[in-house]
């Protein structure tokens, strides 16, 4: 039954891909085929994931191939099933959304080809979480990277998009190269490409090899996850792709980097030394704070959201890193809680980030621009989109009562445990991480006041925003679905954490099985009663309290009337859109406070009514720009060095046949010498 479901999912995505390609001449039909099969497959994916999680079964199997080493072994255990759920949930929402969203591409681009790569992308993600053989894994990982690359390149008339695609292409392959190297090292040490076999033999792998695999895998999967400083592709690629693809990339694809980190660092390599966890924790702290700071300085709504993905990947890594540290110090109970925090935030972020990206997509659909400065007042024209975007904003800012708060709370608790239990070095590290998380939460709230406030509130700042229309039901319903999930995951946090504990225990390496806590699963308990959180009560008390206040006010001021009168403007009549605060102005204070990190530059352009007298200004424009320090100080020098070396190496490529024969001869001699003496 389970195996049939799995095969059905794969074939549905396959059918979706090819029918969409087949009917590419008819855009309506191609869109419907491309999305309909994806919807069906993702519903089945949710059923399959739920089924495996509930029954705790592990599905393994091999497709027959004639090639040695390259065996198509797949394995669906509960961790894979959890990520299958994440993929399928977001895929369900984004495919439904796509039916409405793809419409505005009909006149310009080939929607059928898009449907092909879209389904291929979804299929490859499902295969990535189920692959159990390094070769097979690398192939589907590559298919995932390439299919998403073509989705990023979809709006190819735009020069920016092409640039983003090239950066994405290069970065993703640097990452893949590192993963290939890591897999080859593992093969060298264990003689197998099979992940299960490698995991079984991992205690025999020498420490030096393990360390090398750790570093390579961290770079490889970290590039996909978008950790700082390997993140430069992420804001470019995610903003270039169509919005529901951005939702999939930001919500799901980068999480597969996290998934593989869990697989490699916790399951396959087993318990590592302290410094592994310490590095991941530090990267998490840095990525979270810098991610949110860069998001603050953005006023392209999709780039802003993309930077928030980096921030949230950082928060997830805080959970993973502290889990690895606790494992290395033989504190399995704490390690379990911290890993739960990471996994829980992974799903939460997938939900609210795809919600926000699709919400942003609806806004872009209505206003035809990604620039926040041209929005404003959209809440009146797009009330549903605004409400759902607000729910997403509250969740991502980590405010109660939604799911973002619950997972950040658990992350905080595992960091507190580290502060109270470890040695001085460990305490300082965890303190640094906790400080970063606190700062991140505050800055994220500031950033989403900006994102939501400037986009949806006040008066329209451009003609486009004035005549914006609410998007079609195809686009609203998925947003509502994801908002509902945001609330449900907040309320059900206790149950989900319990479930995650079961998943992680089955994955192993958390040693002892423990008795589940005595309290009801409604409450999340950290560190034997150090802290407790009961999300349903928090939710309920907030609702009740606000309602009580409302009715109390109704009673007291029953007779008072509400009149509508223009906003006070010091006596000036006729406030206009451009007199409101802008996104740049909103975040300017914070950018100036952190100017060491941003190195902002200001340019004034003043036009005078009379250029000689320079007294009355006609217009005054201020440009505040921030440098991309990574490109300036790291990637550009790296590129120059690489080019320099290539130029030097070019000398040996003479084009003379005798020369090449000489090289082959020298290589053979060298190899013989190597074989003889080493």
Partner 1 sequence: MILIILKFILLPLLSPLMVGIVRKVKALMQNRQGARIYQPYFDLWKLFHKDEVISPDASWIFFATPYILFGLSILVLVAVPVFGSVESLIPFSDFLVVIYMVAAATFFLALSGIDVGSAFGGFGSSREMTLAALTEGVLLFALLPVALLTHTTNLALMATYAANLPVTSYFAVITAFLGYIIAMFSETGRIPFDNPATHLELTMIHEAMILEYSGKRLALIEWASANKLLFFALLGVNMFFPKGLTQAGDPMALLSAFGISVFKTILLLVVIAVAESSVAKFRLFRLPDILLTGFILGIIAILVAVI
Nearer to partner 1, 203 or 560 (CB): 560
Closer residue to partner 1 in complex, CB, 92/290: 290
Nearer to partner 1, 242 or 460 (CB): 460
Among candidate residues 361, 305, 336, the one with its CA nearest the CA of residue 101: 361
The alpha carbon of 596 is separated from its chain's Cα centroid by a whole number of angstroms, namely 27
Q: Look up residue 237 and give its two tokens.
A: 């690629």
How far is residue 668's CA from residue 295's CA, in Å, rounded to a whole number?
54
264 versus 586: smaller Cβ distance to partner 1: 586
CB of 546 to partner 1, least distance (A): 4
Helix (H, G, I), strand (E, B) or coil at 608: strand
Residue 141 or residue 326: which is nearer to partner 1 going by CB? Answer: 326
Residue 323 Cβ, how far from partner 1 at the closest point, in Å?
Answer: 20
Rounded Cα distance, 419 and 425, in Å:
10
Give the residue with the Cβ less far from partner 1, 156 or 530. Answer: 530
523-526 and 601-608 strand pairing: unpaired
Tokens of 617: 């200004």
Minimum distance from CB of 236 to partner 1 (Å)?
Answer: 26
The b-or-e profile of 522-545 (16+ CB within 10 A means b, else e) is bbbbbeeeeeebbbeebbeeeeee
**Nearby residues of 497 by Cβ (< 8 Å), 6 or more positions away:** 340, 344, 410, 521, 524
> Minimum CB separation from partner 1 for residue 460, in Å?
10
Q: What 3-state DSSP class applies to 232?
A: coil
Distance from C-alpha of 418 to C-alpha of 385, rounded to nearest angstrom: 41
DSSP string, 455-467: HHSSS-SSHHHHT
Q: Supply the minimum distance, in Å, between the C-beta of residue 279 and partner 1.
A: 22
CB of 324 to partner 1, least distance (A): 21
Of 178 and 434, which has the nearer Cβ to partner 1?
434
Which residue lies nearer to partner 1 by CB, 173 or 459? Answer: 459
Pick 279 or 431: Cβ nearer partner 1: 431
Whether 358 contacts 94, CB under 8 Å: yes
Residue 566 contacts by C-beta under 8 Å, 6 or more apart in sequence?
Answer: 573, 575
H/E element, 317: helix 301-328
CB of 287 to partner 1, least distance (A): 17
Q: Give, for 280, the enclosing helix (H) or strand (E).
A: helix 274-296
Half-sphere exposure of 503 (CA within 13 A, CB side): 29
Instruction: Please state the closest distance from residue 25 (CB atom) to partner 1, in A.
Output: 44
CB of 228 to partner 1, least distance (A): 19
- Yes or no: say if 133 and 193 are a contact pair by the CB < 8 Å rule: yes
Pairwise CA distance, residues 446 & 441, whole Å? 9
**What count of other Cβ atoms lies within 10 Å of the Cβ of residue 654?**
11
Between 181 and 419, CB nearer to partner 1: 419
* Shortest Cβ 649–partner 1 spacing (Å): 50
Tokens (6 digits) for 116: 């092909």
């Amino acid at each position: 039954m389970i195996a049939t479901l799995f095969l059905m999912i794969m074939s549905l995505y396959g059918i979706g891909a090819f029918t969409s390609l087949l009917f590419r001449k008819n855009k309506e039909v191609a869109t419907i085929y491309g999305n309909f099969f994806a919807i069906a497959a993702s519903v089945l994916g949710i059923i399959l994931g739920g089924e495996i999680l509930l029954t705790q079964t592990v599905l393994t199997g091999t497709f027959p191939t004639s090639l040695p080493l390259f065996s198509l072994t797949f394995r669906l255990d509960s961790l894979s099933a959890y990520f299958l759920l994440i993929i399928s949930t977001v895929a369900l929402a984004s495919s439904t959304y796509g039916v409405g969203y793809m419409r505005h591409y009909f006149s310009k681009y080939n929607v059928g080809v898009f449907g092909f790569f879209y389904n291929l992308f979804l299929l490859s993600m499902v295969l990535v979480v189920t692959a159990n053989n390094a070769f097979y894994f690398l192939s589907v990982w590559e298919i995932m990277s390439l299919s998403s690359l073509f989705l990023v390149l979809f709006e190819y008339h735009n020069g920016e998009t092409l640039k983003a695609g090239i950066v994405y292409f290069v970065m993703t392959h640097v990452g893949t190269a590192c993963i290939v190297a890591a897999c080859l090292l593992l093969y060298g040490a264990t003689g197998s490409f099979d992940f299960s076999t490698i995991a079984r033999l991992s205690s025999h792998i020498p420490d030096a090899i393990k360390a090398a695999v750790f570093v390579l895998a961290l770079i490889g999967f970290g590039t996909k996850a978008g950790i700082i400083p390997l993140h430069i592709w992420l804001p470019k690629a995610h903003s270039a792709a169509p919005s529901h693809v951005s939702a999939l990339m930001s919500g799901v694809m980068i999480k597969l980097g996290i998934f593989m980190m869990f697989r490699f660092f916790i399951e396959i390599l087993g318990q590592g030394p302290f410094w592994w966890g310490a590095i991941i924790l530090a990267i998490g702290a840095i990525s979270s704070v810098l991610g949110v700071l860069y998001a603050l300085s953005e006023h392209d709504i999709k780039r802003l959201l993309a930077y928030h993905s980096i921030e949230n990947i950082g928060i997830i890594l805080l959970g993973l890193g502290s889990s690895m540290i606790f494992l290395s110090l033989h504190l399995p109970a704490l390690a379990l809680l911290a890993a739960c925090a990471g996994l829980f935030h992974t799903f939460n972020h997938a939900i609210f980030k795809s919600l926000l990206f699709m919400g942003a997509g609806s806004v872009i659909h209505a206003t035809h621009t990604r620039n926040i400065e041209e929005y404003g007042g959209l809440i009146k024209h797009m009330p549903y989109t605004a409400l759902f975007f607000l729910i997403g904003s509250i969740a991502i800012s980590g405010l109660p009562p939604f799911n973002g708060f619950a997972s950040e709370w658990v992350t905080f608790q595992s960091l507190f445990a580290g502060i109270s239990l470890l040695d001085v070095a460990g305490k300082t590290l965890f303190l640094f991480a906790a400080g970063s998380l606190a700062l991140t939460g505050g800055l994220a709230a500031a950033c989403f006041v900006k994102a939501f406030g400037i986009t949806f509130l006040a008066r329209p700042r451009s003609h486009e925003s004035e005549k914006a229309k609410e998007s079609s039901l195809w686009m609203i319903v998925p947003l509502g679905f994801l908002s509902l999930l945001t609330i449900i995951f907040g309320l059900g946090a206790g149950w989900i954490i319990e479930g995650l504990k079961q998943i992680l225990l089955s994955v192993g390496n958390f040693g002892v099985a423990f008795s589940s806590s005595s309290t009801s699963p409604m409450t999340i308990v950290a560190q034997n009663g150090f802290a407790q959180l009961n999300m349903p009560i928090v939710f309920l008390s907030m609702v009740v309290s606000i309602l009580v206040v409302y009715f109390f006010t109704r009673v007291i001021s029953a007779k008072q009337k509400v009149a509508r009168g223009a906003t006070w403007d010091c006596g000036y009549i006729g406030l206009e859109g451009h007199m409101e605060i802008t996104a740049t102005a909103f975040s300017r204070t914070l950018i100036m406070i952190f100017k060491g990190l941003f190195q902002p530059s200001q340019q004034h352009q003043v036009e005078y009514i009379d250029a000689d007298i320079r007294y009355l200004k006609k217009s005054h424009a201020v440009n505040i720009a921030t440098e991309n320090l990574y490109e300036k100080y790291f990637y550009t020098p790296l590129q120059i060095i690489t080019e320099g070396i290539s130029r030097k190496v070019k000398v040996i490529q003479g084009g003379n046949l005798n020369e090449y024969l000489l090289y082959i001869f020298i290589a053979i001699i060298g190899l013989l010498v190597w074989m003889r003496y080493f």
